[in-house]
Structure 1
Amino acid sequence: MYNYRSLQKNDLETICSFPKSEEELYYMFPKATYPLTPKQIEEAVKSRLEPTVVLFNNEVVSYANFYDHDGESCWLGNVIVSQDYRGKGVSQFLIETMESIAKQNMNVNKLKLVCHNTNTRAILFYKKHGFRPFDISIRVKPSGEFIAGIHMEKIL
């Protein structure tokens, strides 16, 4: 049903259309400025690993990558699914794909991520898929509001 491949330059415009609000973009890419632009993704990818898209009928429907690979673990970042494909199994396929890439290509045994406390749907999704909280950090939304970044990890 779904497949995946590495990010290509012609995917950028489509990915930029996924975050429908400043808050969604913050959840996906806290350092970006709304609206998301291809240039912002291109700059981020320079310091990211394994930028990956999920496809449905050759249409890009989700995106994620890794950062801070230390040999034993890495962090999952820039996770987003097209609004049209939420609740249709894309998130699960994306996470399973990224877990597999982390194990096989990066030889890590632990995958980490940060999920904002105001993103309840994502917190519950990650918990359902075996991620457990291990730390909390202070984050500041573009509005100036303080929120908690919940650090989660999963043994692969």
Structure 2
Amino acid sequence: MYQCRPVLAEDYSFICSFPQNAEELFYMFPTAVYPLTVDQIEGNSNSRLKPTVILNHSGQVTGYSNLYNYEEAERCWLGNVILSPGYRGTGLAEALINNMIAIARNELVVKTLHLCCHSTNTRGLLFYSKLGFKPYDLTKITGKQGELIAGILMRISLND
């Protein structure tokens, strides 16, 4: 039903419309400034691996993610996960994450895929847990207002 493909330059303007407020952008891309701009997301994407979009049945870009911090044969990290607001809760996020898991397993051939989810993002934590990601550590993150937030480090084994 959904198709994933590498991001194209013309996709960035669509991706910029996905974060609906500063909090959503912080969850997706903590160092970005709201509202998200093409320059910000394109610059970030160019420093990442396998920037990927997911398309709906009409071919419209409806989600985005990438991988980073690749350590050959060991691990990489899932980053910048965001969906178009109208497609949240439809199974699209699961399809996108499963595609990113497949890329990490089959193309990058790593043992584990890691991510960091903010402790304030309950929906995200529950979602990643449902997909099989397990928490294993905490990190300190400074929020946009200078507040301290726990980043919950999670991983999934790709050897299974």
Bin of the TM-score, shorter chain as denominator length: over 0.9
Letter in 2 for 1:70: E
Q: How many residues align?
A: 156
Alignment map for 1:7-156 (pairs within 5 Å) = 7-56=7-56, 57-71=58-72, 72-156=74-158
% identical equivalent positions: 50
Letter in 1 for 2:15: I
Q: TM-score, normalised by structure 2?
A: 0.96
Q: CA deviation at 1:42?
A: 1.4
Supply the distance in 2 between the matched residues of 1:134 and 1:26 (Cα, whole angstroms).
22
Supply the distance in 2 between the matched residues of 1:65 and 1:107 (Cα, whole angstroms).
15
Runs of 4+ in structure 1 off by over 3 angstroms are none
Q: CA deviation at 1:143?
A: 1.4
Q: CA deviation at 1:145?
A: 1.5
Supply the distance in 1 between the matched residues of 2:37 and 2:147 (Cα, whole angstroms).
24
Gaps of 5+ in 1: none
Supply the distance in 1 between the matched residues of 2:46 and 2:7 (Cα, whole angstroms).
12
* Secondary structure, counterpart of 2:30 in structure 1: coil
Supply the distance in 2 between the matched residues of 1:143 and 1:62 (Cα, whole angstroms).
27
Supply the distance in 1 between the matched residues of 2:31 and 2:156 (Cα, whole angstroms).
24
* Secondary structure, counterpart of 2:70 in structure 1: coil
| RMSD of equivalent CA atoms | 0.6
Query: Please, which moves more after superposition, 100-109 or 49-58?
Result: 100-109
Gaps of 5+ in 2: none
Supply the distance in 1 between the matched residues of 2:111 and 2:55 (Cα, whole angstroms).
26
Supply the distance in 1 between the matched residues of 2:51 and 2:107 (Cα, whole angstroms).
12
